[in-house]
Amino acid sequence: MPNQSTEQLVPISDIREGVVILKNGSLCMVLEASAINFELRSNDEQVAILQNFQNFINSVDFPLQIVVSSRRLKIEEYIKTVDGIAESTENELLKIQTMEYSRFVKELSSLSNIMTKKFYIVISFYVYETPSKTGLIQSVKGIFKSKEINKELTEEQLNTYKNQLLQKAELVYAGLSGLGVKLKSLEDEELKKFYYELYNPGK
C-alpha cells in the first residue's frame, strides 16, 4: 500500500461559515451540547427525560452522530493559581484553607485521572440526498469513495445544501431544548480545534 499523506486521509475539503465541507461534496455541522445532571433528578423527571429523548430520536428522519470526547483535565495551571492566592493572602485562616485545598486537589489528581467530557451532535447532509443525473445508486456509491474524488461545489449548490443542513439543525435544537440540553454551533476556529484534537488525541 503506497504511503499517504495526512491530508489525503482527512476527508475535509474546507471549513466555512460554521459548516464542514467534505471532499465528496457532503456537508456537516457540529453542535456542542451541554450536560444535564440526570442522577440528581427525581424518578419522575428521569422517566420524562428518557421518554422525551425517545420521542426526539423517533422523530428524526436523518442520520445523527453523538460524539463524547473524554480528555484528561490539565490542572497544573489551576494549582499554580491556587498556590499564588495562598501566598498572596494576608488572612492566615484563608491561607491555611487554600493550602489544604491545593494539597487535596494534588492528592486527588495523583490517585486518579480527572477527566473532562464534552458532548457533540454531528449533523450531516450527504450528497446522495440530492441524486445526480446518474441516479441514486451511483450517488450513494460516491459517498464511499471520498478518498478518490474531490467534488467542487458551486455557490448555488453550497447554499442549497447549507440551507437543508440548517433546517436539520433547527429540528435538533427544538427536540433537545425540551430536555434542558443547551446547544451551540461550533464556529470556524472551534471546528478547526475540534478536528485537530480529534486527529491528535495525544495533544
pLDDT in tens, 54-108: 999 999 988 889 999 888 777 888 888 988 988 888 888 988 899 999 888 888 8
Residue with the larger pLDDT of the pair 178 and 5: 178
Give the C-alpha separation, 128 to 152, whole Å: 15
Give the tens place of pLDDT for each residue, 160-177: 889 999 999 999 999 998
pTM exceeds 0.85 for this model? no
Quote the pLDDT of residue 54: 93
Domain locations in the chain as residue ranges:
6-70+118-199, 76-111
